[in-house]
Every structure is written in structure tokens, then in C-alpha cells.
Structure 1
Amino acid sequence: MNTRTIPVARSPRRYDPERKSRIVDAAIDVVAAHGVAGTTMRRIAAVADVPLGSLTYHFEGLDDLLAQAFERHAERMSPLYEAHFEDVRDREGFIDAVTDLIHGGASMDPRDWVVAYELYLAALRDPALRSVTESWMRRSRAVLERFVDPVTARGVDAQIEGMVMHLTLSTATFDRADTREIVARLLEDTH
């Protein structure tokens, strides 16, 4: 009788240098689709098409992965925001650019805003994420400060965020002309 054992064939280890990056992108997609509350390691692994163990290999846990995902999202959105104001040369152009941003400009789609608001909510509960939100807000305000003083930039930044939230959550329609008037009123006394 032959007692020789036949070695089990193992699949070769897959060389996947982009795996960690793909996992971070998948986390952003899962947050966009399910919110932070519905984001799980299993969902992220499925979207990234990687074994669940890959997540624990590359990240300390879900909080670490979410922090990196939110940081990547902010890093991707900031250049779009900056580019949106690139051709602004005067106050009227600034008002138009802010209005356009509120009404869907800067190449940001509703999914991008969903992820941003999920980040803000998560940062309310997890102070460790506030470094991501503060860095993102500081970068946005730096763009706005090319046109207005720092205090006004803070107000315009908050106005953009708040008005986008109102547009996103409201069942009513918002007239672009009304939005422009609101922005112009905020900027009335600035030079």
C-alpha cells in the first residue's frame, strides 16, 4: 500500500502592490453606500475583492481604515475645490464660484458630499478624526482667503457646507439666483 501523501496544491501568492490602496478606496465606496454605521470590514473586503485577512494585515482595525479613507477622500476633494476657484479674478466671480459650488460645482457629485458629511458626523463622535476635518477645512479656507479675509473665509466655508446640506436634504427646490443673493449678502461689507 502506498502511504505517500500528495502535497496539497496551494494557489500562488498573488502579487498585489495596490491592495492597500484598493481597500481604502473600497472603504470610501462602502461609506458612500451604507454610511459609517453600515460600514463593516466584511463589506469593505467584498467591495475591494480581497480576503478579509488583508484588512487586518494592512490596518489596525476599522477605525484606522476609516481614518485613512476619510483622509484620502479629503485629499482628493481639495484639489477639485482649489481648481474651482482658479479663474476667479474679482468679487463677482467669487460670488459666482461660491454659488456654483453650492449648486454642484467643483466636479463634486452628491456621493462626495455624502462621504464628507459622514466624515463630519464620525468626527463628532471620534475626536481622532478631527485632524482630518480640520486639515480639510484649513485647506478650503486657504483658497477662500485669496479673495476675502480669514474671518469671512470661515463664514463662507460654513455657508457653503450648510447650504449644500440644505440642498441635499430638502425636498424643495433651491433657486440658483436666491443662493447667489444669499452669498452676495454675506460678502456685502467685505473688500
Structure 2
Amino acid sequence: MAEPRRRVPHRREKIVEAAVEVIRETGPASLTHRAAAARAGVPLGSTTYYFADLDELFEAAVRTVAERNVARLRAWARSLPERADLCAGLADFLVLLTTEHRQTSVLAYELYGIALRRPALRAASTSWDDMLSKVFALRVDAITARALTVMFEGLLHQALVSPRAPDRADFEEPLRRLLGD
């Protein structure tokens, strides 16, 4: 008699982490069930057991990266003193995202872009934007928070694709113009 299927603890999370690593290293086009299974060191059937199709695997990867970025954002927001210069703080955070956390920032944009062609991923992809606006709304009104979110994302994206390393002034000056500082 066949033994009942045994659930391996944390296998799903291991597969998701492997998917994130595959995308980080070789880009979204290289993610397949087979690539994730090989990277996770699990049988191919495990990926299809947990993720019916590639969109489900991508969604799990998007959510994982978004959750990490949101945690980083929350930590930054908590570390910023109440009366801190918001423009300077944001400029420093953008420098951090384009230097120390560059690989993660690039990964996030790659996953964000996938949502353009895969509508099922849009909610997960926009969670970062929503959290940015909520954090910014703690310091400015809701409309300005939304505008600041759009500018922040644009500045970050431009810096990541720029051939030169950005400096604080690249970010701080436009932020001051937007916020009237």
C-alpha cells in the first residue's frame, strides 16, 4: 500500500525563495517551475503541487519581495526622528536603495514590470506603492503623499538605470522642490 503524501515543512517557502533567487540572478524570463525546483533542491512535482501555474509562483515571489521592501521602508520610517528633515531623510534612503540595496531594488522593479503583462500580479506589485503613500501620509497630506510616492519611485527607477552612481543631491533637490522646502 502506498504511503500517504507527506508535507515537508517550509517546502513552499523554500520554493518561493528559490524563485526569487532565480529572478535576481538571471531575470524574470528564466523563472520556470523546473528552474525553481532545481534551485530549491526539490522534485519538480513539488513546485506544481504548491503553484498550479507560473503566475502563482510569480505572485508568491512578488509578494515576498514586496513584503521585504515594505519591512525595510517601515524600519526606515521608524528610524526617522519626528522632526527630521524629510527631504534629507528620503534622499539618504534613496541612496541606500541604489547602493547597499541595489540588487533588491532592481529585483523589485523587474517583478513590478511583470505586472504590466500579467494582471494577476498587479495587486501584489502595487503593495509597495500603497505602503510608501501610507508612510509618507504620516508626514504630509494624502495628495502630497501620493505625489511624493510617484516622485520617489521615478527617482529610484532613474537612478537604477543611470550609468552613473547617484548622489544625495540628485534626490534631495527635486524632493525639496516638490515639498516646498
TM-score, shorter chain, exceeding 0.5: yes
1:74 to 63, 66, 75: 66
Equivalent position of 1:55 in the other structure:
47
CA gap 1:53/1:47 in 2 versus in 1, 3 angstroms: same
Question: How far, CA to CA, are the matches of 1:75 and 1:108 in structure 2?
Answer: 18
Question: How far, CA to CA, are the matches of 1:158 and 1:88 in structure 2?
Answer: 23
Equivalent position of 2:21 in the other structure:
29
Q: Does 1:141 align with 2:133?
A: yes
TM-score under structure 2 length normalisation: 0.88
Equivalent position of 1:99 in the other structure:
91
CA gap 1:174/1:110 in 2 versus in 1, 3 angstroms: closer
Equivalent position of 1:9 in the other structure:
none
**Stretches of 4+ aligned residues off by more than 4 angstroms:** 105-108
Question: How far, CA to CA, are the matches of 2:165 and 2:19 in structure 1?
Answer: 32
Question: How far, CA to CA, are the matches of 1:91 and 1:151 in structure 2?
Answer: 21
State the secondary structure of the residue aligned to 2:9.
Answer: coil
How much does 1:78 deviate?
0.6
- Mapped contact 2:15–2:47 kept (Cα < 8 A): yes
1:180 to 164, 172, 180: 172
How much does 1:133 deviate?
2.2
Equivalent position of 2:81 in the other structure:
88
Q: Does 1:121 align with 2:113?
A: yes
Counterpart code for 2:179? L
Aligned-pair identity in percent equals: 38
How much does 1:135 deviate?
2.6
- Mapped contact 1:70–1:119 kept (Cα < 8 A): yes
**1:41-92, Cα deviation, whole Å (9 max, x unpaired):** 2211111111111101111111111101111111121121011021231361
Question: How far, CA to CA, are the matches of 2:128 and 2:165 in structure 1?
Answer: 29
**1:87-118, Cα deviation, whole Å (9 max, x unpaired):** 231361x1122101211259961121122111
Larger relative helix fraction = 2
Counterpart code for 1:30? V
Structure 2 unpaired stretches of 5+: none
Task: Say how many residue pairs are matched.
Answer: 176
Q: Does 1:40 align with 2:29?
A: no
Measured on the aligned residues, the alpha-carbon RMSD in Å equals 2.1
1:157 to 145, 149, 152: 149
Counterpart code for 2:67? E
Question: How far, CA to CA, are the matches of 1:155 and 1:79 in structure 2?
Answer: 22
TM-score under structure 1 length normalisation: 0.84
How much does 1:136 deviate?
2.6
How much does 1:147 deviate?
0.4
State the secondary structure of the residue aligned to 2:28.
Answer: coil
How much does 1:36 deviate?
1.4
